[in-house]
């Protein structure tokens, strides 16, 4: 039964008590609050993954080191990768999807607000379930990509792989539900006049990302189901002795895994496409071309997956086919980079922290892209694969790319979300220390890979010539950690005494800057009518061709605001997420738990669906 939250738009939420506040966050269906929940959780898990990385770097700082042993090291690289990808970058992107997409398209919320909350609580349950493995001494240790048949019950008899396998299934449900939600939101909830081509590029990149989410996750869902059946029910999918092929896992995994890396990078590309025009005071150069390039990357991203498998012996035909598609996909990416540079060219540049991170993105992502294109050639990749060269490549695109882009988004949109501006000086300290630290950590790894250092080793002999650059890399990683301290200090200081931002501190271009900071719960007092891309900018500054500015609309009345109906809070998403986690985790504990969890899930799905059925007539009979 939905509690009719006593909420009058325009007034403060009446939650004076601490527990009242907690309850309001647990039952929120407001996309802005859900965005904050995602962002906060993601940052915490980013730090967890960072600590896992620092321990690994400490272990590798010297040859024959004994800080952690081989088993623990396997757990660390498995959890570092899984955490950073699924609990770090993806939810951080989700934070921006949640907060910004409705604002940028002129909507009051997403298409399915309760489903949105459900996605978050399922994510959090999955994240906690996965990390609970540490407490049981059963952290996953098969790599973030879990290759068969190392993951079989024969070679991984303990529950470590089960935590990973079931944790990913839970997280997958969360991602897919969110994908459906944002797809429908972007297609169907745009303000009048907001045609698809007038949408901000961040919304477009996010749109493509949602398609990738809902089309790629089913493949890994199936791969994980096959693994689950092998481990729990004795099927033979990945059993070589019965004719099963471990490569089936690799194919299913990478059919997901390659689109996944575009899921990781496209939102950051979208952020950069918003930040650059704002701080260059120029429209995005060739915005339609950037949009089409994003669409092409998304679509053709489904055709390159076996470039992760050049060393498994697929044969020359398969190798060549995937090599060609991989080289082709570099083209739209390169086009975007040129368009970003074209945006800056001739612009009036204002150097602020968000712009620094966007520029860092362009430089670092380009470097990562270049090493990636090298991998596209199978003979070259045969030397590079499974070496630190690959580690360098993907950290350049995922950290130098995604993380830098996401931090750019954090600095850019912080004033909109909190009403306060982050401190510029601390921001620049963060940026420069992170930039230097990042390059000191990962640039030497290109070299280490090429002189023969393999991935996923917990130690190395002292006479291989790897000692010096490993030490340098470790020092770099601690510089990154220090840079994050500056970020945290910035956040703490700003929350206490930061400069008030106002609605449009950057003189920006898109709709979210037209409303107060932070926005009221209903976002727009009056749904905007959009006439062009960057409509807000045109309203403020005209189109530069001397046409008369649009007449100012009549001020919003209290009656208009009172007529806005926002959805009520609901506790069903939280309960349903818990029930699903009980059910799925039961697969490795006991069938009774699965059955009880399953029945509870079905019951709660029914209650969730019935909550809004015939609301005007009171609760359903």
Partner 1 sequence: MADHAATHAVHDPNIGNTGLDNRKMGMWAFLGSDCMFFGSLIGTYLAYKGKSISGPGPHDVFDIPLTSYSAALLLASSLTMVLALSHLQHNRVKSAARWLLVTALLGAHFVGNQVYEFTTFALHHGLTLSTSLFGSSFFVLTGFHGAHVTGGVIWLLILVGLAWRGQIDARDYTKVEIAGLYWHFVDIVWIAIFTVIYLIP
Partner 2 sequence: MANQHAAAATTHGDGGGHATVRTYINVAIMLAIITAVEVATLYVPGIPNWLLVSGLLVMSAIKFFLVVGFFMHLRYDHPILRALFVGPLIIAIAIIMAVMALFSAFLLLPRHVL
Identify whether 52 is a catalytic site residue: no
Under the binding rule (CB under 8 A), the answer on residue 612 touching partner 2 is no
User: Between 496 and 565, whose beta carbon lies closer to partner 2?
Assistant: 565
175 belongs to the catalytic site = yes
Binding-residue pattern over the window 311 to 340 for partner 1, x denoting contact by CB under 8 A: ------------------------------
Residue from 47, 58, 318, 436 touching partner 2 (CB under 8 A): that is 318
Q: What is the dihedral of CA 347, 352, 353, 355, to 10 degrees?
A: 0
Q: Cα–Cα distance between 482 and 491 in angstroms, integer?
A: 15
Residue 201: CB atoms within 10 A of its CB come to 26
Q: Residue 514: which residues within 8 A CB-CB, separation 6 or more? A: 503, 504, 528, 536, 539
Distance of CA 487 to CAs 101, 104, 565, Å?
25, 26, 38
235 binds partner 1 (CB under 8 A): yes
What 3-state class would DSSP assign to 499?
A: strand
Give the span between the Cα atoms of 172 and 382, in whole angstroms: 32
- Respond yes or no on whether the N-terminal peptide bond of residue 149 is cis (omega within 30° of 0): yes
- Selecting among 260, 274, 381, 423, the annotated active-site residue is 260
Mapping DSSP onto H, E and C, the string for 131-179 reads HHHHHCCCCCCCCCCCCCCCCCCCCCCCCHHHHHHHHHHHHHHHHHHHH
The catalytically annotated residue of 336, 375, 393, 509 is 336
Query: Is 416 a residue of the active site?
Result: no
Backbone CA torsion sign across 503, 402, 354, 370 = negative
446 near partner 2 (CB under 8 A): no
Interaction between residue 219 and partner 2 (CB under 8 A): yes
Catalytic status, residue 463: no
Check if 601 is active-site.
no
Indicate if 144 belongs to the active site: yes
Instruction: Check if 119 is active-site.
Output: no
Work out which of 95, 171, 178, 252 binds partner 1, going by CB under 8 A.
252
591 is an interface residue for partner 2 by CB under 8 A: no
Query: Is 258 annotated in the active site?
Result: yes
- Closest to partner 2 by CB, 248 or 349: 248
Residue from 47, 54, 248, 596 in contact with partner 1 (CB under 8 A): 248
Helix 113-135 vs helix 31-60: angle between axes, to the nearest 10 degrees?
A: 20
Cα angle: 201, vertex 203, 207; to 5 degrees: 115
Q: Which of 120, 121, 144, 506 is catalytic?
A: 144
Region binding partner 2 by CB under 8 A among candidate stretches 1-9, 201-209, 210-218, 436-444: 210-218
Q: Any catalytic annotation for residue 613?
A: no
Q: Which of 31, 114, 251, 308 is catalytic?
A: 308
Q: Which of 107, 215, 448, 577 binds partner 2 (CB under 8 A)?
A: 215
Partner in contact with 212, chosen from partner 2, partner 1, none, beta carbon below 5 to 8 Å by kind: none
Q: How far is CA 363 from CA 266, 297, 356, 472, 487, in A?
A: 16, 20, 11, 21, 21
Binding-site string for partner 1 from residue 502 to residue 541, where x marks contact by CB under 8 A and - marks none: -------------------------x--------------
- Dist CA 176 CA 164 (whole Å): 18
Q: How far is the CB of 302 from partner 1 (least distance, A)?
A: 10
- The CB-of-237 to partner 1 minimum distance in angstroms stands at 6
Of 319 and 534, the one with the shorter C-beta distance to partner 2 is 319
How buried is 171 (Cβ within 10 angstroms: 0-12 exposed, 13-18 middle, 19+ buried)?
A: buried
| Residue 190 annotated in active site | no
Q: To which residue do tokens 């990738």 refer?
A: 212
Task: Round to whole Å and give the CA distance between 107 and 523.
Answer: 8
Residue 243 in contact with partner 2, rule: CB under 8 A: yes
Neighbouring C-beta atoms of residue 135, cutoff 10 Å? 8
| 453 interface partner picked from partner 1, partner 2, none, CB below 5 to 8 A per type | none
Q: Does 532 bind partner 2 (CB under 8 A)?
A: no
Kindly state whether residue 138 participates in binding partner 2, applying the rule CB under 8 A.
no
The answer to whether 114 and 572 have CB atoms below 8 angstroms apart is: yes
* Spatial separation of the C-alpha atoms in residues 133 and 481, rounded to whole Å: 25
Q: How far apart are CA 281 and CA 346, in angstroms?
A: 10
| Ranges within 180-209 binding partner 1 (CB under 8 A) | 180-181, 183-184, 187-194
Query: What does the radius of gyration of the chain's CA atoms come to, in whole angstroms?
Result: 25
Q: By C-beta, is 19 or 233 nearer to partner 1?
A: 233
Q: Provide the 10 A C-beta neighbour count for residue 555.
A: 8
Is there a catalytic annotation at residue 260? yes
Q: Which of 236, 457, 591, 599 binds partner 1 (CB under 8 A)?
A: 236
Asked if residues 107 and 190 have their Cβ atoms less than 8 Å apart, the reply is: yes
Active-site residue (options: 109, 230, 423, 504): 109
Residue list 555-594, contact with partner 1 (CB under 8 A):
565
User: Nearer Cβ to partner 2, position 302 or 608?
Assistant: 302
170 touches partner 2 by CB under 8 A: no
Question: For partner 2, which is the closer residue by CB, 214 or 566?
Answer: 214
Number of residues interacting with partner 2: please give it, by CB under 8 A: 17
147: contact with partner 2 by CB under 8 A: no
Extended beta strands in 475-561, E state: 499-500
Instruction: State the Cα–Cα distance between residues 590 and 582, nearest whole angstrom.
Output: 11
Query: ∠ CA 459-463-469 to the nearest 5 degrees?
Result: 65
Q: Is position 565 annotated as part of the catalytic site?
A: no
Active site residue 308: yes
368 three-state secondary structure:
helix
- Residues 244-263 interacting with partner 2 (rule: CB under 8 A): 245, 247-248, 251, 255
Catalytically active residues are 80, 109, 144, 174-175, 258, 260, 262, 273, 307-308, 333, 336, 455
Residues that bind partner 1 (CB under 8 A): 111-112, 176, 179-181, 183-184, 187-194, 214-219, 221-223, 225-226, 229, 233-237, 242-245, 248, 252, 255, 527, 565, 602, 606, 613-614, 620-621
Residues that bind partner 2 (CB under 8 A): 183, 187, 211, 214-215, 219, 243, 245, 247-248, 251, 255, 302-303, 306, 314, 318
């Amino acid at each position: 039964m939905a509690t009719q939250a006593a909420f009058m738009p325009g007034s403060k939420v009446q939650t004076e008590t601490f527990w009242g506040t907690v309850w309001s966050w647990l039952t929120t269906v407001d996309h802005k609050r859900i965005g904050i929940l995602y962002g906060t959780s993601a940052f915490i898990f980013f730090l967890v993954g960072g600590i896992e990385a620092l321990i690994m770097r400490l272990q590798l700082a010297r040859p024959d080191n004994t800080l952690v042993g081989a088993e623990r090291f396997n757990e660390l690289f498995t959890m570092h990768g899984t955490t950073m990808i699924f609990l770090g970058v993806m939810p951080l992107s989700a934070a921006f999807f949640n907060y910004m997409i409705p604002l940028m398209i002129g909507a009051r919320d997403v298409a399915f607000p309760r489903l949105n909350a459900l996605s978050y609580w399922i994510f959090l349950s999955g994240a906690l379930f996965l990390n609970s493995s540490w407490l049981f001494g059963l952290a996953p240790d098969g790599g973030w990509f879990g290759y068969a048949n190392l993951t079989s019950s024969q070679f991984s008899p303990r529950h470590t792989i089960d935590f990973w396998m079931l944790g990913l299934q839970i997280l997958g449900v969360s991602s897919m539900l969110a994908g459906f939600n944002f797809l429908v939101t972007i297609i169907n909830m745009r303000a009048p006049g907001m045609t698809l081509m007038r949408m901000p590029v961040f919304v477009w990149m996010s749109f493509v990302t949602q398609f990738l989410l809902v089309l790629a996750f089913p493949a890994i869902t199936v791969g994980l189901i096959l693994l689950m059946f092998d481990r729990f029910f004795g099927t033979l999918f990945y059993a070589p002795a019965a004719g099963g092929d471990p490569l089936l896992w690799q194919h299913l995994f990478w059919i997901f895994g390659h689109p996944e890396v575009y899921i990781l990078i496209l939102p950051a590309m979208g952020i950069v496409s918003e930040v650059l025009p704002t701080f260059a005071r120029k429209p995005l150069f060739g915005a339609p071309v950037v949009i089409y390039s994003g669409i092409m990357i998304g679509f053709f991203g489904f055709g390159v997956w076996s470039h992760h498998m050049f060393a498994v012996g697929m044969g020359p035909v398969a190798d060549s086919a995937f090599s060609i598609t991989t080289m082709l996909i570099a083209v739209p990416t390169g086009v975007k980079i040129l368009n970003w540079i074209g945006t800056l060219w001739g612009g009036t540049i204002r150097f602020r922290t968000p712009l620094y991170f966007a520029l860092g993105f362009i430089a670092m992502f380009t470097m990562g892209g270049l090493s990636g294109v090298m991998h596209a050639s199978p003979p070259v990749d045969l030397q590079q694969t499974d070496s630190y060269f690959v580690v360098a490549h993907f950290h350049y695109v995922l950290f130098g790319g995604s993380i830098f882009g996401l931090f750019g988004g954090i600095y850019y949109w912080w004033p909109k979300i909190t009403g306060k501006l982050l401190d510029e000086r601390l921001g620049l300290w963060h940026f420069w220390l992170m930039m230097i630290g990042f390059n000191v950590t990962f640039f030497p790894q290109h070299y280490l890979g090429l002189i023969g250092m393999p991935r996923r080793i917990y130690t190395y002999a002292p006479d291989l010539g790897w000692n010096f650059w490993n030490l340098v890399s470790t020092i770099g990683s601690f510089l990154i950690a220090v840079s994050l301290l500056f970020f945290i200090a910035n956040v703490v200081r700003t929350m206490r005494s930061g400069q008030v931002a106002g609605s449009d501190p950057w003189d920006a271009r898109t709709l979210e800057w037209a409303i107060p900071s932070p926005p009221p719960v209903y976002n727009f007092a009056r749904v905007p009518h959009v006439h062009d891309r960057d409509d807000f900018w045109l309203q403020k500054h005209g189109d530069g061709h001397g046409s008369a500015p649009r007449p100012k609309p009549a001020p919003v009345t209290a009656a208009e605001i009172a007529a806005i109906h926002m959805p009520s809070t609901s506790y069903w998403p939280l309960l349903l997420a818990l029930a699903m986690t009980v059910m799925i985790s039961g697969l490795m504990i006991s069938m009774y738990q699965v059955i009880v969890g399953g029945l509870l899930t079905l019951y709660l799905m029914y209650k969730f669906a019935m909550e809004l059925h015939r609301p005007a007539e009171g609760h359903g009979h």
